[in-house]
Structure 1
Amino acid sequence: MQFDALILKVASRCNLNCSYCFMYNLGDTTYKGQPKFMSYDMIDSILEKTKKYIQKYNKKEFSFIFHGGEPLLIEKDFYRTFITKANIIKKELQEVVFRYDIQTNGVLIDEDWCALFRELQIYPSTSVDGTRKAHDMFRVDHKGNGSYDKVFNAVRLLKNQIGYADTVCVINIEEEPKVIYESFKEMQVNSVNFLIPDFTHDNYPFDRGKSEMADWLIALFDIWIKDPNRYKIPIFIGVMNRLLGVTENSSNESTVLVIETNGEIEAIDSLKACGHGFTKSGMSVLSDDLSDIKNSPLGKLYFEDSTTKLCAKCLECPIRDVCQGGRLVHRFKKENGFNNPSVYCKDLIKLIAHIQNTLIDLFPELYSKENIDRMKTDEILKYVDDTCKKDRINISYTDELEFFGQN
């Protein structure tokens, strides 16, 4: 059980009210019982437990990701204090490299915040859903007003003041991929981390008979791969790396540990979409070590077993090693916990097949030499569906996956 980063929820409230947000609008209301801001007193406990964890696992690099809610709601001195104390710990650990990141909705970014990011070497990433149409459809303030103009200006300011602009975009298939792609070019971004929306089997809003998400991503991929001046898109790079065997341990999901404003230790916060209180472990940095998360059922599944303990259908899938079952949150169903394929299963198969076949077209000699055939989406889908109907595999850990069911 290892991870390389802590997500620090320095603020439990937000100045936006995004309708798809797993923190506030997908059924989990535990934030109401959290302090609005992380206290200065919590810093020493977090850093002491981080130091102990790094020494235990001999980590050489470690990241602190400031998050929320909206992390720019907390005062700037909190970051100065945290990083000053963290740098003292880093000197004690000698060869460890610390990285500081912040994920913000961008609304409050101004020249003063940019100056702080430069001063403390904090690397910001801004959430923006591409165009005004796509962004303001969901990312509104508490009065229902869109936030696109403020965020667009914030991204351009970061580019000018810091020299780069990294962004996160929740995919909105109601906007054209080409329009979205070009909008980020206009912002002069360095990267866009496109995220598939965090829906489970219980609240999936799309037509299950179609593969709308795959069709959207395939159109985007074709634009991106042909652009000599493309920006970085991690979802595509991750799939290509796994297809090519470039990064053996490439994962479809970041393995990070979450620390809430009151010091509670939790697994990845996207799992809040599974239900109220779902991520609560009963552990805290005030009384537990970071590695103790493996003693909770959810922590063990997320950190140790999420890519190996898959449902029978996934185990039979011929591209399992590339897909890795998809993200854990997308497998959840109240009826039987995580004993399901991803709700985006068809989309993932179609996307991976398309990327593989594109690589074959780009590097025919390489693939011919390795005797690698083109993937046929329909054949894979039929094989997986037939396997599911036959229920050919009996897995020994069914109870572990279905433990999280809520019926």
Structure 2
Amino acid sequence: MYIQTFVLKIASRCNLNCSYCYMYNKGDITYLTQPKIMSLTTLTATVSRIQSHISTNNLSEVFIVLHGGEPMLAGKKYIRNLINLFRNQLDARINFSIQTNGTLIDSEWVALFQELHVNLGISIDGPKQYHDNYRKYHNGKGSYDTIRRRLHNLNADSQVGYLFVVNTAILPEELYKFIKDMKIRHLNILLPDHHYADLPSSKTSKELGNWLISLYDLWRNDLNRPFVDFFENIIKSFFNLSEGTQILGSCENSVVCIETDGAIEVIDSLRTCKSGITKNNLNVSKNEIAEIFKLDLFKMYYLSHSTVADKCKKCIYLQTCGGGFLPHRYSLKNEFDNPSIYCESLFGLIRHIENDIKIEIKIE
């Protein structure tokens, strides 16, 4: 067992205050005790621990995700020095990406990312009236206009993927038109971070499956469609071409978070379940990365697609779904021993895609 993706929380604060954010608005307040920016000492220790992990496991490739908070708050010089440090010290191919809210992007940032070969992920939640309802500054002002203005700094050489949190208040047709008008070529969609102790409205839950099916049909019938990871991974699973991701699939989840203070933790999305749930005594200053496998919570996350509820074990779509995303299974009574709260919606979508594939194959 090994880790291949390292999410570096280089900034513990954010210039936005998104209402659904698992970091700041879902009950976990542990970020308040964290350094605002990861120090050089912690960065150096992190590089050393990752290199040790690479050597021990003979890894040829690793993925480094710069995350936050808002990672661009660390500044351009910081990011340049970080990437140079990692490239000089790690004996493996490194794939760098940064996940940002997009409000700070300027032409210098774009040039820096292109020079250093950093893939850019930008969060945007559809047209202005929907985006601004959730993704706001701390003063309550929406961030949409700022982001759209900042996106003009991108160019044809920019390696950009967009991240969208599903909102059933947006008609699928309206969202897809937005995607096309934005000329988005790479998109991933996320289900809202809820669980049995924090359920979405019954209307939203019931509508979600049909909403996803409608969006899939719009996408599928578009000959010039963008790459949508969520749909692509489901399709590929039927041909054994993809083991999926931590969201859906059959893969082992070889992802770990390094906090600004050097803490080695399970993915931060789990913080939506209970404040402090990811906290432990591991730190890059004194521990190897692999020691996280000693933690029950991490082992559960790592094997979450094979350690599923009894209902899931009998499901015909287990290989494709893998029980869904671990945080979406949580309840106060059974903890993670439940199907995803989105089980019915995911089942309907996967069945719809399977039938679509069968029709396509029959026609051909």
- Give the TM-score normalised by structure 1: 0.85
2:250 corresponds to: none
Kindly indicate whether the alpha-carbon contact (under 8 Å) linking 2:237 and 2:244 is maintained by their aligned counterparts in 1. yes
Equivalents in 1 of 2:170, 2:184: separation in Å? 19
Kindly indicate whether the alpha-carbon contact (under 8 Å) linking 2:66 and 2:98 is maintained by their aligned counterparts in 1. yes
Kindly indicate whether the alpha-carbon contact (under 8 Å) linking 1:9 and 1:258 is maintained by their aligned counterparts in 2. yes
1:330 corresponds to: 328
1:380 corresponds to: none
Equivalents in 2 of 1:255, 1:201: separation in Å? 25
Mean Cα deviation higher: 81-90 or 264-273: 81-90
Equivalents in 2 of 1:136, 1:110: separation in Å? 21
Equivalent position to 1:231, from 226, 229, 237:
226
Q: Secondary structure at the match of 1:98?
A: strand
Change in 2 beyond 3 A, CA 1:357/1:156? farther
Mean Cα deviation higher: 270-279 or 185-194: 185-194
Q: How many residue pairs are counted as aligned between the two chains?
A: 359
2:85 counterpart of 1:85: yes
Equivalents in 2 of 1:330, 1:100: separation in Å? 28
Equivalents in 2 of 1:251, 1:299: separation in Å? 16
Point out which structure has higher relative CO (alpha carbons under 8 A, 6+ apart). Answer: 2
Equivalents in 1 of 2:246, 2:42: separation in Å? 31
Q: 1:175 is matched by which residue type in structure 2? A: I
What is the Cα deviation at residue 161 of structure 1? 6.1
1:403 corresponds to: none
Please give the residue correspondences for 1:1-400 in structure 2 after superposition, counting only pairs within 5 Å. Answer: 1-90=1-90, 93=91, 96-158=92-154, 160=155, 162-207=157-202, 211-247=206-242, 249-253=243-247, 255-303=254-302, 305-364=303-362
Change in 2 beyond 3 A, CA 1:182/1:164? farther
Gaps of 5+ in 1: 367-407
Encode CA deviations 1:88-130: one digit per residue, 9 max, x unaligned: 123xx2xx21111100000011111112212222111100011
Equivalents in 2 of 1:284, 1:230: separation in Å? 43
Equivalents in 1 of 2:244, 2:183: separation in Å? 27
Kindly indicate whether the alpha-carbon contact (under 8 Å) linking 1:192 and 1:233 is maintained by their aligned counterparts in 2. yes
Q: Secondary structure at the match of 2:238?
A: helix
Encode CA deviations 1:263-290: one digit per residue, 9 max, x unaligned: 0011111111111001112211111111
What is the Cα deviation at residue 151 of structure 1? 1.4
Kindly indicate whether the alpha-carbon contact (under 8 Å) linking 1:126 and 1:155 is maintained by their aligned counterparts in 2. no
Kindly indicate whether the alpha-carbon contact (under 8 Å) linking 2:132 and 2:142 is maintained by their aligned counterparts in 1. yes
Kindly indicate whether the alpha-carbon contact (under 8 Å) linking 2:119 and 2:159 is maintained by their aligned counterparts in 1. no
What is the Cα deviation at residue 252 of structure 1? 4.4
What is the Cα deviation at residue 319 of structure 1? 1.6
Larger Rg: 1
Equivalents in 1 of 2:148, 2:79: separation in Å? 24
What is the Cα deviation at residue 209 of structure 1? 9.7
Encode CA deviations 1:43-86: one digit per residue, 9 max, x unaligned: 21111111111111111111111100001111222112111121
Q: 2:331 is matched by which residue type in structure 1? A: K
What is the Cα deviation at residue 295 of structure 1? 0.6
Q: Secondary structure at the match of 2:339?
A: coil
Q: 1:27 is matched by which residue type in structure 2? A: G
Encode CA deviations 1:115-148: one digit per residue, 9 max, x unaligned: 2212222111100011112211100000111111
Kindly indicate whether the alpha-carbon contact (under 8 Å) linking 2:98 and 2:121 is maintained by their aligned counterparts in 1. yes
- Give the TM-score normalised by structure 2: 0.95
Equivalents in 2 of 1:259, 1:283: separation in Å? 10
